[in-house]
Structure 1
């Protein structure tokens, strides 16, 4: 099978080192079906530091660091969206889509599920409308929303996945203020960027954080 994404996957070593040190993307343990778990912590992704090189750096890091560690195993992705700030740590939907499509077809086939932790109402609405047209059906159909950590533990071994402090704090806040799940109540931080999260007026590469 022809690998159409390999030719343009390059990045400077210092950018890959920056991603590695951030621990935004790591392979951690296995899920309850024995598949490898790729953990992505949105808040830790150094989008601002990578600047205009975020897309190529993400592609290269997945190809050079993550896929070799996963090997030929099936795998799932746990994406931790807790407290992501579009100005600091979100690379843009265009970069995410390009990174996924740059993976070899065999690797895309081995991806069995994407567990999206703490999506929020805006995210659900976005993917139910615009999002389904931006991503291939193969990826869209693998998306699973996890509004609480407790639901994630039904799929992933709790002791094998390192939960970042931002996710623990946000989970606790959701337990105290459950109306946040429905967009009726929001903390000050989320109000700062929810209103602009659905901006799709320009190219895919300019799409901002969704929350």
Structure 2
């Protein structure tokens, strides 16, 4: 049964909006036989959810994702390509709250988080604030994958559907490798680099920790 959280900005029930977006789906197994939860950042309907993104994310994990995993060990493949804070990023505070809302046993079964296409700012942010914002159990499971080819060392490519926007970004990085270091700007840079972190949510999270 789909539990209905308060409606998003567009009037559609929040959980149904998340389900329809396919931002978070269970897809196959990794090379160690663990379930794979694929998260496509570009698909997350943060703007449509408005101020209910955190509540909807927690409820969706609890009502849909965790029951589907069914007590198995699992990994998360998070595709950060073409993420923009104003459109499809729920904020660091929402991600932290969603993770911490999971039962301890479920958090323990999470074995790795593969962060695909991290922008330079994302790396610097987590290197600086990651240990304050997240528990060591989550922070130590974070693995950066600058290219899809590195992800395939951990997950068979036949097991995970890769959206075209992610493939296009991967190809662009191959052609323009300086983008990894924030040196070479592009017309759409703001979509996955400078605006990739939710500053206000992050500062709020830091205040909560302190």
Would the TM-score normalized by the shorter structure come out above 0.5? yes
Q: CA deviation at 1:196?
A: 5.1
Match of 1:4 in 2: none
Is 1:181 the equivalent of 2:176?
no
Change (3 A) 1:193 1:149: closer
Corresponding residue number in structure 1 for 2:150: 151
- Note the residue ranges of structure 1 that are not aligned, 5 or more in a row: 1-8, 206-211
What's the offset of the Cα at 1:191? 3.8
Counterpart in 1 of 2:10?
none
Q: Residue 95 of structure 1 corresponds to which residue in structure 2?
A: 94
1:70-85 pair list within 5 angstroms: 70-85=69-84
Separation in structure 2 between the aligned mates of residue 146 and residue 166 of structure 1, nearest angstrom: 16
Paired with 1:10 and 1:97, the residues of 2 have a C-alpha distance of 22
Query: What is the total number of aligned residue pairs between the two structures?
Result: 197
Distance 1:81 1:174, change over 3 A: same
Any stretches of 5+ residues in structure 2 without a counterpart?
Answer: 8-12
The 2-side partners of 1:197 and 1:28 are apart by 25
TM-score under structure 2 normalisation? Answer: 0.88
Q: With the length of structure 1 as denominator, give the TM-score of the two structures.
A: 0.88
Deviations 1:174-202 (A, max 9, x none): 00000001111121222467445563584
Which secondary structure state, in structure 2, belongs to the residue aligned with residue 188 of structure 1?
A: coil
Residue 40 of structure 1: how far off its partner (Å)? 0.4
Q: Which residue of 2 aligns with 1:133?
A: 132
2:205 alignment partner in structure 1: 204
Instruction: Please say if residues 10 and 56 of structure 1, whose CA atoms lie closer than 8 Å, have aligned partners that are also in contact.
Output: no
The equivalent of 1:3 in structure 2 is none
Contact 1:40–1:77 under 8 Å retained in 2: yes
CA distance in 1, matches of 2:192, 2:153: 31
Cα distance in 1 between the residues matched to 2:68 and 2:183: 42
